[in-house]
Structure formats: C-alpha cells, structure tokens
Amino acid sequence: MFVKLKKLLISLLSVSIILVNAQNIFSESKKNVFGVAPGPYGDLIKQAVKPGLEKKGYKVELKEFSDYVQPNLALANKSINANAFQHSVYLEKFSADKGLKLSSLITIPTASLGVYSKKFKSLSEIKDGSSVTIANDPTNLARALKYLETLGLIKIKSDIDPTKASEKDVAENPKKLKIQPIEAAQLPRSIESADFSLVNGNYAISAGIWSTAIHRETLIEGHINLIAVRTEDIDKQFAKDIKDVVLSNEFLDVVNDPKNIFKDFQKPEWLLKK
C-alpha cells in the first residue's frame, strides 16, 4: 500500500513539474523585449505597438540603449527579441561587419536628419569656413555627406557609391566647410560650439530641439527606420504578430494623432498607401 502511494505521489509530482515547465516555456515565448535608442522610437513602440501585442497575450518590455551598437549585439545574443532604432543601410553594414544574422521585419515612421544651428536661421546664412558636425558611424556619415550635397554645400566624387562615402570622397567644397564627424549622441550638444550640425531625428527629439530645425532631409527608402529581428526568427509567430500590429489601423491611428510627434515623421511607402 505504501509503495503504491509513493509511486502515485511521484507520478503526480512529475506531472506537476512538467506542467510548471510548460507554463514557464509558454510565458517566455509570449514575452517580447524591444531594444530602442533614446528618443521617439521607444515611445512609438510603447504607444503604437505594445498595446496591440498585449492584446495578443504578450508581455512587452522595453530596454533602452544609449548608442547604435549595443541594440544589435543584444539582439544577436538573444538578450532582446527585436529592436527599433536603425535603417536598412546601417543594419546591413553592421551585420556584415560583425558577422551577425539580423533582418528587417518591417519599416516604421522615421524622424529625419535635420540642420540645427544657434548661429544661422536659414541655409543661406551659412558662411565660408563654417564648421559642421555630423555622425561618425560610416552609414550615417555617408548619409550626412549626401544631405550636404543635396543642400548644394558640397559635391561627392561621381564614381563613389553615395551610401559608402566618407570625408575623403568630397570632390568639391566651395564654402570650405570644416566637416567634423563625432558620435551621433553628441550632435545636439555640439550645436553650442559648431556653426551648424546635422542631427539624427531621435537625438534631436531627445534634446528638445526637433522643432528648431532650419531644414530637414527627405529620406530615401533605405534610410527609413525599421524593426529588426534575428534572421532565424523572421517566420516565427512573435515576429508575425509584431508585423500584424504595425500593419493595423490602430498603429496608424497613433501615428496620425495630432497630439503625437510621430505625425511629423516621414512615413514608409507601404504606410502612405494605406
């Protein structure tokens, strides 16, 4: 009798352990950790993506990073499930340089690069020999140089891929601008010392200077920001659910809400067609 009771208790305990483990596995599979950079993209995920995922049964956590390097490393080592801070040109180069297998899931509304200055109120006031600070990471440096070319301030060598241009690829600099690449996060602060600065949108918003831009770029599709996941996860249910939420009318309602800064962001092509 005692032996049978003992066997029954062991069986019940085993079943309990299996059920607890299964519950833990399910709980983990329904948890999404998003990596974001300082500024609006964390707010966009929090306000426009998180509610939709929670309706689907997910627990959503946001993890903020202070640079453009750690979010992709954290995604690759599985500390987070997705991130939202970068465009495809940056993602592709970073992944290739670091040997990471990361992929774009879907593009999202993006705060564009802007011209900011405490010395000039318009582009026409930019003087010969003016100093300009730009981001120093390769893809955003090339993007800033292309923007300066679009503004008619420099010319890049014609035989150079503009998405890979660096300072040495400047063919003409009629105003003899002093181009100073620095860490992107330091660009808002550099406005105090430089004559003008090309500041990435997320950092401009974080610094409270977004509305003071004297000009903003028109983004090419490759510079529209995106949500990235590990390539191995691109077809998993959580990735499909993230994409479904971004494609939803509820997401669009948040983006277009006049109270939100997202209304001023450049929208990806797919969203313009909705």
DSSP letters along 116-155, please? E-SS-SSGGGPPTT-EEEEE-SHHHHHHHHHHHHHTTS-E
Q: Is the pLDDT of residue 39 over 80?
A: no
The yes-or-no verdict on residue 11 having pLDDT over 50 is no
Q: CATH 3.40.190.10 occupies which residues in the chain? A: 2-110+222-272, 114-218
Q: What confidence tens digit (pLDDT) does each residue in 179-214 have?
A: 999 999 999 999 999 999 999 999 999 899 999 999
Instruction: Give residues with Cβ within 8 angstroms of 88, minimum separation 6.
Output: 104, 107, 222, 224, 226
Confidence of residue 163 (pLDDT cuts 50, 70, 90): confident
What pLDDT is attached to residue 224?
96
What does the pLDDT read at residue 15? 36
Helical packing angle, 237-246 and 249-256, nearest 10°:
50
Question: What are the E-state strand segments in the chain?
Answer: 31-36, 59-64, 82-87, 102-107, 114-116, 131-135, 155-156, 170-172, 178-182, 196-199, 215-216, 225-230
Q: Which CATH superfamily is domain 114-218 in?
A: Periplasmic binding protein-like II (3.40.190.10)
92-109 pLDDT, tens digit per residue, is 999 999 999 999 999 999
Query: What is the predicted pLDDT for the residue at 64?
Result: 94
- pLDDT band at 47, cuts 50/70/90? very high
Report helix, strand or coil for 236.
coil
b/e sequence 136-148, b meaning 16+ C-beta within 10 Å: bbbbbbbbbbbbb
> Are 228 and 86 within 8 A, CB to CB?
yes
Q: What are the pLDDT digits (tens) for 257-267?
A: 999 999 999 99
Closest C-alpha to 51, from 249, 269, 197: 249
Find the radius of gyration of the CA atoms of the chain. Answer: 23
Give the strand pairing for 59-64 and 31-36: parallel
Could you report the per-residue pLDDT of 221-272, keeping only the tens digit for each?
A: 899 999 999 999 999 999 999 999 999 999 999 999 999 999 999 999 999 9
pLDDT of residue 274: 78
Contact 114, 204 (CB under 8 A): yes
Query: What is the DSSP pairing of strand 59-64 with strand 170-172?
Result: unpaired
Least reliable range by pLDDT among 3-7, 113-117, 164-168: 3-7
pLDDT at 30: 85
Residue 36 in contact with residue 85, Cβ under 8 Å?
A: yes
Whole-number mean pLDDT of the chain? 90
CATH number for domain 2-110+222-272, candidates 3.90.1070.10, 3.30.300.30, 3.40.50.300, 3.40.190.10 = 3.40.190.10
Q: What is the pLDDT of residue 122?
A: 98
Percent share of the chain, pLDDT over 90: 81
- The secondary structure of residue 235, as a DSSP letter, is T
Instruction: Find the helix or strand (DSSP H, E) in which 190 lies.
Output: helix 187-190
pLDDT at residue 29, rounded to an integer = 62
The two structure tokens encoding residue 221? 């599709």
